[in-house]
Chain A
Amino acid sequence: MVSKEEIEHIAKLMRIEIDDHIVHIDRVQKIISYFDILDKANVESEELDVKEQTIEELRDDKYIPYDEKLIQGLKNYKGSYIRAPKMS
């Protein structure tokens, strides 16, 4: 069983504030316990399904200018940068 502290730690790393322990921690713990069923699948020796693609199949490495309007639509857009809160 994964500890509640560990889930809280991950939540913090994901920048999630926990305001309801039953909804956010207990249920996540219950879901992770359910995922333990994967241990029974006996797939250790299974190869991962990898899709191969040759370089010829990829699109051309062409410069496509981005749409300035998309950037201008952002909040706190200051002409050449986006304002964000201070990093501590």
Chain B
Amino acid sequence: MMQLPGKGLMVNRSYCRIAVVLLLLSFLLGLFLAGGCGKASDHVTIRFWNVFTGPDGRTMLRLVKRFNRENPDIRVLMQRIEWPSYYNKLFIAGLGGRAPEVCVIHTDVLERFIQAGFVHPIDEFLGGEYGLDGEDFDANVWEAVEKEGKHYALPLDVHPLGLYYNKRLFREAGIVDAEGEAKPPTDRQEFLDAAEKLTRDLDGDGTNDQWGFVYTWLRTNVYAVMAQWGGEAFNEARTSCLLNTQANVEALQFCADLVQEYGVAPSPEHFDAWIGFRQGKVGMALEGIYMLPDLEKQTDLDYAGVPVPLFGNILATWASSHNLCIRSDLDREEQMASWRFVKYLSDHSVDWAVGGQVPVRKSLRESEAFRRLEVQSEFAKQIPYVKYMPRVPFILEFYSEFDLAVEKALRGSVSPQEALDVATVNVNKVIERQNAMLHEAKSRESG
């Protein structure tokens, strides 16, 4: 190209600008055309929303890409959304009639989506060409997605709470079996003994700098212990809150005693306590299987995972599931495409488990591939007796009361009885408000 100094250069520049604009225009045109082509061709587009923004998102994306390759008639578009805003976006999208065809919903909040009428029951798909046997799920897991005889979601995984322990600290404290290997506790006494031995003041300054146990997430930790005492949050009909019953109070007392009475756990610090475990300053923590990828990245931590010890008198632990849900107002073609995708993910959930999950289908857990996953297999032993959070549409309001009561009790500001009494009164108020509205809706229907 000829280049003249001065004015010539300016001319060239404006040509450049025109060229750029033309390029952009043609790019946009291309996009439009491609979009048009997409509509003209005969594949069904399925939008799939989930919360997998961590490493698990990459695992899921690989599965989605494989599905798209193997099923040319369906195109799945995956959208990952950050945790704090996920359910807001999903719910608002549902209200606005723009919900994705397939989405992931945790078991504890499923009820509000069912009540709002956003999700389609899957029972009709279980027979037939792309069928699946409900018997392949553990009864408690399968029941957790059921309402009035219909199943509203296909559980993809189950993530129970288990006991992670630091093997090196155990060996140092002499908590070992006959072969000299770290021996994790299985009941309350063993747990307390181990925790006491592990809690130490290493530098002799009068304060502990190594702890036997930390609370990483009060809500799940305490809920699991309450379940072991046989405590229930609600009566069967969910019309009355039972948080301040004796079983729950005793369980919460035990949890508080670990801090106040036995002094084997620091005052609750919420999530950051997990950093302490990762730094090797903590002997034991109760956390979900989903924390495993975090630990696997670490080469200097000698850890293992086992089922939660028996603190109370019933074997139980907390768990939740990621459930695959299908939007309620799809046409038949979209429904079948969505279901085929959902079933595909379920069939391949062993691959999903690698990212720190436990497949929910019994047949897959028996596979050799899954048995090789050590911590997952240990945590999976608990599945038959895991307990999900109570199924109420106002679960988040329940959580705020529950969390506050537990926090107050563990910090010793009020007694467990007092804390749970207050929470019970407040949760009952929420129930009253809900019932008043349901009542109004019914009388409006009949009137």
Verify that A and B bind, or say they do not: no
Could you list which residues of chain A lie within 8 angstroms of chain B, going by C-beta atoms? none
